[in-house]
Amino acid sequence: MKFKKFALCAVVTAAFSTASTMALAETIKVGVIATFSGPNAIWGKQFREAIDVYVAQHGDEVAGNKVEFIYKDVGGPNADASKAAAQELLVREGVKYLAGFDFTPNAIAVAPLTKQAKVPAVIFNAGTSAINKQSEFFLRTSFTLSQLAQPAAQWAAKSGAKKVVTAVSDYNPGIDAEAAFSSSFEKNGGAIVEKIRMPLQTTDFAPFMQRIKASGADAVFAFLPVGPATFAFTKAYNENGLKAAGISFYGTGETDETTLDALGDQAIGLVTAYHYSAAHDSELNRSFVAKLKELHPGSHANMASVGAYDGVDLIYKMIKVAGTDGQKAVEAAKGLEWESPRGPVKIDPVSRHVIQNVYIRQVERAADGTLINKEIATIPNVPDLGFNP
């Protein structure tokens, strides 16, 4: 009889333990705010595809909790739409993490909400240094323009450039890029002969090319948001004879993988400083690129997809340690290090921004005939050089 009582107690205890575990497990919702419609819809598309890749490789459960992604379209740079989307996700959907944010205004708009709700927000792209100062709940797995532009300036000076025109899109990231490149290039003995700021919606870059050509510069440094603008600018650089005139090109995302094939031979030789190349030589990157092509044929791995992939990785790591406790999650993220498809990364415990390698890339044709951004030099462990706590 004693044995039967003991066995019954054991069964009841086990059942209670199982029920408790089931009660503790939950669905943790992640709200992804991005552009899924309009001329910049490629951002949301690439974020979503990268999330698909990560989930296919790692599953949709963390520490017994199911992770669900909810997507909200804000149609482009639209602070009001971003704030409204965040409010809906936090209040109506009950999300415990926010993510995405392709444009700087969209990220900044949700800063007060993240502080009120104590919900971490992982930025997949927006690259203005000041963003992370707006909320202690912001973390970023993309880049900043200071992080890229200073190494670009150093490489340009090392490569013999003496006089440079900066040509950037006239909004916060472009101004960051202009300031960081100019300061670093001048410290390395070069001169900035003109600073050109181009309206964000510019489609005809010929007038700017004529100004660059007439300036007497031996090089141009460009920054434009990845997409149609970068393609049009790089195309105009060739068609207006700057390359033929010996004016070297230095940039960041202007030879992005999504537009590289369309640029064709005119892209060969262009040099950019960037934190990722789809041609990065590692097993992890090859696996990432292969799974993306498998799940989404015709898509290209690029900076947007790797920013989202690592952003989800960071969210999974936070959930594993902190569950839905936002403050604990942010603290757990500080100082985290891991291997990414882009190379080694670490979350800076002060800026909460990713410390990463910056690669000097040059467009070449690979053995299979495709155009690639070949990494020709590495500047290791670069922080956000524009962050001043």
pLDDT digits (tens, 9 = 90+) for 334-370: 999 999 999 999 999 999 999 999 999 999 999 999 9
Angle at 290 between CA 284 and CA 291, to 5 degrees: 90
Beta strands 97-100 and 121-123, pairing class = parallel
Are residue 37 and residue 113 in the same domain, yes or no?
A: yes
Beta strand residue intervals within 25-107, DSSP E: 27-34, 61-62, 65-73, 97-100
Residues contacting 50, CB < 8 A, separation 6+: 292, 304, 305, 306, 307, 308, 309, 312
- 234 and 183 in a single domain? The answer is yes
Report percent pLDDT > 90 for the chain. Answer: 84
Same domain for 300 and 330, yes or no, is: yes
Q: Is 229 exposed, middle or buried (0-12, 13-18, 19+ CB in 10 A)?
A: buried
Q: Is residue 153 part of a domain?
A: yes
Taking only the tens place, the pLDDT of each residue in 27-58 is 999 999 999 999 889 999 999 999 999 999 99
Q: What is the pLDDT of residues 288-311, one digit of tens each?
A: 999 999 999 999 999 999 999 999
224/258 same-domain check:
yes
Please report whether residue 240 resides in a domain.
yes
State the total domains in the chain.
Answer: 2
Dump pLDDT digits (tens) for 171-180.
Answer: 888 999 999 9
223, 152: one domain: yes
Same domain for 182 and 139: no
Same domain? 321 vs 264 = no
Ramachandran region of residue 4, left (φ > 0), alpha (ψ -120 to 50) or beta?
alpha
* Position 200 in a domain: yes
Q: CA quadruple 269, 272, 277, 282: dihedral positive or negative? A: positive
Distance CA 7, CA 1 (A): 10
Question: According to the model, what pLDDT value does residue 208 have?
Answer: 97
- For residue 93, the SS3 value is coil
In a domain, 294, yes or no: yes
Task: Please say whether the beta carbons of 121 and 97 come within 8 A.
Answer: yes
User: Does residue 111 share a domain with residue 259?
Assistant: no
Is 18 among the domain residues?
A: no
Residues 259 and 289 in one domain: no
Provide the whole-model pTM: 0.90
Report yes or no on 234 lying in a domain.
yes
DSSP 8-state assignment for residue 162: -
156 occurs within a structural domain: yes
CB 221 within 8 A of CB 164: yes
* Alpha-helical regions (H) of 138-239: 145-158, 172-187, 206-214, 228-239
- Spatial contact of 161 and 248, defined as CB atoms under 8 Å apart: yes
Parallel, antiparallel or unpaired: strands 337-340 and 343-347:
antiparallel
What CATH number is associated with residue 196? Answer: 3.40.50.2300
Res. 17: pLDDT tops 80: no
Same domain assignment for residues 69 and 155: no
Taking residues 267-274, report their average pLDDT. 95
Mean pLDDT, the chain, whole residue set = 92
**Among 11-15, 21-25, 324-328, the range of highest mean pLDDT:** 324-328
Q: Which domain holds residue 326?
A: 24-143+281-352
The neighbour count for residue 331, using CB atoms within 10 Å, is: 14
